[in-house]
Chain A
């Protein structure tokens, strides 16, 4: 059948859980492209605007993904390429300049404009970085114009955020601090960000900054004294450019669940040589509260099996949290891309027999899910209802990006997201 397309390459299992065998597959991938990141990023950075340079498909994608939101003034738009742009009848750069000037006239409140590359603009090799430089000169200092790619050929879903933050990094001011400074990287819900800021403060880590900032003008400084902590697992490129600026990463598992949050905070505490007593004092009450919140869900979810289709790269940290803190059985944990270095701490915590898969051939993966018949399948919206119709319970995965799930106070909410579909199934009598 589709054997020609697929080369499952089981890596030889060797010592420890960090070297779990990974099933690598190629075929149809049922995933979003990086443009989707705009749907949450435009709300996080409030005075930024995202202009996609692409086709009508790109415009249609963003509006379908953001469809239910009613915008008085949306903070994203698409410059749709037309026949003239492709045939060389119109200078694509001039056309782009026109679109940008029309936009900036309409929205004088914009302080930062991202030109977001798409598949069509990448394929015709429209040089958006040059365009961004040229336009920056024209509109500086009022508007800073940056570019990154959110194309499907280069990015999967959350990698759009990675590329966006990576584009921000060269813009960050040089840090002149003598002592170490902490930078938390990855878009978090405002409420989560505030909780983390309070915890770091209680631990005695001062001047913690977050990337992305809530406003384009509040860019955090970066330099050799910067230690950064990734809050999200999909930030490979951002980490690389932060390293180039001299910053160094604090290795940690991701702050999901009570245990994950403690380990994540602890990694920072150790890097900043915080007294363990002070660390416990700052975190103990919140951690205990998180564990209490998880208890009822442990009763509901323990022993249930779960199958992850690849989507956001959050799958491995989530699987770790669900198996260790809620006792769930992992059948297959799919991820669109596995960054072994950033996920080393996570992989070490996974149960030994976990089946990991990287990439996707969706039809074959569906066959495996149908055979395994897991109690919950975590998948995208294109698969969720069809699987429900086949009698499988699903948890649609994008919600995990749109809900505050990190940190102690959200541990119970995170568990609830997985318990709710099962709860619903037992309630319904129709």
Chain B
């Protein structure tokens, strides 16, 4: 058993639901106990869909267990077909139904429905949501596109038409999938490539059947479409893209890659004016203060890898941690972490992630909804780059992560939580301001503090209510507990003069410095010796 406070991914049948809900004309019959219908509200509330997901649950109860739950499943399947008349059906079990072993696959076959029925084997006690989505999409593609496979892969390009590709990977409940698809479709159009099918999002079984007609595949989300893309390559000889176009540089690389795969000539002249505002914004002097800011990145592997590259190459940040909960992509993350000189963190235990972030002392966390909780506790700035996310990250406005407009969105949303340049300077210069101080929110983030009528003493000016304040301080004692150093009062006071967002790092470095030199007490001198030594 694993003690779990928050889980990064749902069970695999949620992944299957994401694929079914993304598609048109597909219905999913899920053998599941009463209560598992909670999953509907992920789609109707968090993603704000205006239709019920195309999922029928058997919702068996304890009294059904004494009877024939297999018959219940078959009735539900038949009724769902009669009512919804889908073009294809998915059948599967949730974690509890997996235990009672009714064999939805065999039962569905015996029901002899006049449409393709795709049985899903999703081991709930080993695998998770993204794996479930990938497996479901793969099974759908195999079943529905498989019969169209040519006996031998033939030369497919008709030289007189524009190259055609499929876009694979976007699903329901995906982080910004809606706008990523729009952005990449537009980008491909500008390059001179047409899009045949986008799948699973918006695709019908008939669309899946014609996946083989395209020249190649664009894989936007390898976690979901990777397996299916490999199968399509084996079966139809379709190449697929491996660059995920998140960030300005990655988008340029992506364009070169699709040009190469599509057999289009190299771009003649590199346009002097970049298609995204990010390069100029990042070069403008206002961004100078972003240089070397320490950033911790965690998320699904695709978004984490992309964020690491953007953060270091395009924002000028320093990466101080890189991790993912996608075990399937652990190798890529390890390779990248080595390149950046950080420890890779491959883990789905929220508490371990929290510990790693506290130890790394970042100034900015780029992560998921859970890292938002952690960052709030630690009092660190945070932006969300990956699922799992909550309702505010399914915005009304156009907000892709991919392509050139995506890079603009990344720029705005990552810089926003940081203290702005001038305020950062002033905080470093004047420490005792009653209104602008360490624990107050950056003033551009609004209602952080209520200003007392008269400036009170420093301790009572805290912008954060007492309960929160104690939580904010917790991590400091947490990491300080390892070895206790004797900080002389003066040194401690001097430490407080360092701006709060780098103070944790300064404390750490000083203690490390003292440890290495066998110093038992830390003076102001030690602090500055350490500073000179590490010269941040």
Q: CB within 8 Å of B: which residues of A?
A: 1-2, 4-5, 27-36, 53, 55-57, 59-61, 63-65, 67-68, 70-72, 74, 77-83, 85-86, 90, 92, 95-96, 98-99, 102-103, 119-120, 122-124, 151-154, 156, 363, 380-386, 388-389
Contact = CB atoms under 8 A, between A and B. Distances in A.
B102 interface: no
Given A77-B3, A92-B1, A55 B125 contact: yes
B96 A80 contact: no
A381 B41 contact: yes
Given A33-B34, A123-B96, 10 more contacts: A2-B83, A5-B79, A33-B38, A55-B124, A79-B1, A82-B126, A102-B3, A152-B33, A153-B65, A385-B49
Interface in B39-88: 39-42, 44-46, 48-52, 56-62, 64-65, 75-76, 79, 82-83
A28 B50 contact: no
A138 to B, nearest CB: 17
B7 A30 contact: no
Q: Which 9 A-B pairs have the closest CB atoms?
A: A33-B35, A152-B35, A382-B40, A389-B50, A119-B96, A55-B95, A381-B41, A2-B79, A60-B10
Given A28-B37, A384-B44, A386-B44, A57 B390 contact: no
Contact of B1 (A60, A95, A389): A95
A156 B377 CA distance: 34
Contacts of A71: 373
B1 A98 contact: yes
A383 B52 contact: yes
Contact of A32 (B5, B38, B79, B373): B38
Given A60-B10, A96-B1, A381-B41, A153 B34 contact: yes
Contacts of B46: 64, 67
A77 B5 CA distance: 5
A123 to B, nearest CB: 5
A74 B351 CA distance: 12
Contacts, number: 197
Contacts of A363: 56, 79, 83
24 contacts: A5-B76, A30-B37, A31-B35, A33-B36, A35-B35, A55-B124, A60-B7, A64-B39, A78-B7, A80-B1, A83-B126, A86-B125, A92-B1, A119-B95, A120-B96, A152-B61, A153-B96, A156-B35, A363-B79, A381-B40, A382-B40, A382-B41, A383-B44, A385-B45
Given A2-B79, A60-B11, A72-B471, A151 B3 contact: no
Contact of A29 (B48, B59, B96, B391): B59
A384 B52 CA distance: 9
A99 B49 CA distance: 38
B312 to A, nearest CB: 30
A381 B45 contact: yes
A57 B10 contact: yes
A284 to B, nearest CB: 40
A81 B4 contact: no
B44 A79 contact: no
A67 B368 CA distance: 13
A122 to B, nearest CB: 7
Contact of B35 (A61, A385, A388): A61
A102 B1 CA distance: 12
Interface string B3-36: 1111101110110000000000000000001111
B128 interface: yes
Contact of B60 (A78, A81, A124, A153): A153
Contacts of A120: 95-96, 99
Interface string B355-375: 000000000000001001100
B125 A77 contact: no
Contact of B62 (A59, A122, A380): A122
B36 A57 contact: yes
Contacts of A99: 1-3
Interface in B113-154: 123-126, 128
Contact of A380 (B1, B41, B79, B82): B41
A60 B33 contact: no
A79 B4 contact: yes
